[in-house]
């Protein structure tokens, strides 16, 4: 290593015609220039790393802002529109609407009844709905009116009895 260094110094002496001291000074000057360059390069690398880290933070923040704005738009929609937006357009499994989480799964369709089940089931209404409804409603109204009238009589009888008792008591006190 030392031999190589001495050979470099000798070669430079011959090339420039300078003394040993001059060659050594020139090498020191070059060394300082290289150190300054490397220091600037390290600063530049550090700055580039900081810029890249900040760029990543900015992108992350932008993504969060986009999500918040999209959520705000979704909350402004009706539930039906929000459900369709997430299910059809975005193919999402779940979504949040006005602070609550929902799934985009539809209710499972009921299996079609077999021919046997259809034949076994009796019809619920043999009369037309309107007639059956009217008859049932009239009977119910009649029962309710009877119960209401009975209650009114009981209440009015009780009130009349209390008034009579009160009059008797007040009249006895006057005599």
Rounded Cα distance between 16 and 8, Å, is 12
pLDDT value at 103 more than 60 = yes
Mean pLDDT of 80-90: 84
Q: Give 41's pLDDT tier (boundaries 50, 70, 90).
A: confident
Q: Are the beta carbons of 15 and 26 closer than 8 angstroms?
A: no
Where do the H-state alpha helices sit in the chain? 2-16, 20-76, 79-84, 115-120, 129-174
pLDDT value at 75 more than 60 = yes
Q: Do the domain assignments include residue 66?
A: no
pLDDT value at 173 more than 70 = no
Mean pLDDT of 134-157: 85
Q: Do the domain assignments include residue 115?
A: yes
Query: Would you give the DSSP letter of residue 97?
Result: E
Q: Do the domain assignments include residue 126?
A: yes
Mean pLDDT of 64-87: 85
Mean pLDDT of 74-88: 86
Q: What's the mean pLDDT when you consider all of the chain?
A: 79
Rounded Cα distance between 9 and 24, Å, is 8
Q: Are the beta carbons of 36 and 30 closer than 8 angstroms?
A: no
pLDDT value at 123 more than 70 = no
pLDDT of residue 156: 76
Mean pLDDT of 83-94: 83
> Which residue's structure tokens are 């209390």?
162
pLDDT value at 81 more than 80 = yes
Q: Give 1's pLDDT tier (boundaries 50, 70, 90).
A: low
Half-sphere exposure of residue 150, counting CA atoms within 13 Å on the CB side? 6
Number of domains in the chain: 1
Range of the domain at 148: 110-175
Listed ranges 105-109, 113-117, 126-130; the one with the highest mean pLDDT: 105-109
Q: Do the domain assignments include residue 122?
A: yes
Mean pLDDT of 17-27: 73
Q: Do the domain assignments include residue 123?
A: yes
Q: Give 52's pLDDT tier (boundaries 50, 70, 90).
A: confident
pLDDT of residue 118: 61
Q: Do the domain assignments include residue 117?
A: yes
Q: Do the domain assignments include residue 53?
A: no
- Answer yes or no: pTM beyond 0.75: no
Q: Do the domain assignments include residue 128?
A: yes
């Amino acid at each position: 290593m030392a031999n190589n260094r001495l050979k470099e110094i000798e070669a430079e002496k011959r090339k420039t015609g300078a003394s040993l001291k001059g060659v050594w000074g020139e090498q020191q000057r070059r060394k300082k220039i290289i150190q300054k360059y490397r220091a600037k390069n390290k600063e530049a690398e550090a700055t580039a790393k900081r810029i890249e880290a900040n760029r990543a933070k900015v992108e992350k923040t932008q993504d969060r802002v986009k999500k918040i704005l999209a959520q705000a738009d979704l909350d402004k929609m009706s539930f039906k529109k929000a459900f369709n937006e997430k299910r059809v357009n975005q193919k999402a499994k779940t979504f949040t609407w006005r602070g609550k989480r929902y799934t985009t799964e539809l209710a499972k369709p009921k299996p079609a009844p077999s021919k046997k089940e259809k034949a076994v089931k009796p019809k619920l209404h043999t009369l037309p709905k309107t007639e059956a409804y009217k008859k049932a409603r009239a009977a119910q109204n009649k029962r309710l009116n009877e119960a209401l009238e009975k209650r009114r009589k009981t209440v009015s009888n009780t009130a009349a009895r209390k008034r009579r008792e009160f009059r008797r008591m007040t009249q006895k006190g006057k005599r």
